[in-house]
Structure 1
Amino acid sequence: MVMVLVRRTKRLWTDEEKRSICFQTAAPGVSVAQVARRYAVNANLIFKWLRDPRYAPDPASAPPLPEEARFLPVEIVAETKAPVAAPAADGHIEIELAGGHRMRISGSYDPEALARLIRGLTA
């Protein structure tokens, strides 16, 4: 019988990566848990970095919100299809993302904001 031991490797984050990750937690409406899931890291580690003045985001450097910041209604549906954007007959847009997620957008929307949202969700 052969036993194979797998050694766990500790992820080493550069100072710049830590600053970037901590900066993302300063965005309005973003939680530390969301950022932690995005990078597959424990949220407690990000909280530890946030306590360190080298990595804590400077509130003055955060980008200002537009005068009329609006959130779009988004529904995530698990399916396994290729990413496709198709206008529906009732004025809605459906976007199927990699990983089987689907977005449905209704009403008027800002195409640039939608593009940023999609890039953020697929990153």
Structure 2
Amino acid sequence: MARRTKRLWTDEEKRSICLQTTAAGVSVARVAQRYAMNANVIFKWLRDPRYAPAPPAEPDAACFLPVEIVDRPMHDDSEAAADPTPAAGMIEIDLACGHRLRISGTYDPEALVRLIRGLSG
């Protein structure tokens, strides 16, 4: 009879295996089979904060952003130089990634939030 040897897993391997259990439709038992190990070992790792994956962020969670209200735009566009005051009902948003949004007239707030998230990510 062959003698069993205890497999030693690195911390990175443990984190990787624990992360695989968070995929939709994947069970801990399935991941354990993939690595020829007992599922209870993975459950033990999942209880350890060093290896447990971070909970996923809620996509609809509120997020506060810094806001600065100024009398005139802070950029040097030629059209801004011609008319230093923004049009009534106009919103300008400068994102940290370098994109600038200019919205005038009516807008859908939910669509605007999705657009900002898409440009920020």
TM category, shorter: 0.3 to 0.5
Scaled by the length of structure 2, the TM-score of the pair is 0.44
- TM-score for both structures, normalised by structure 1: 0.44
- RCO higher in 1 or 2 (8 Å CA, sep ≥ 6)? 1
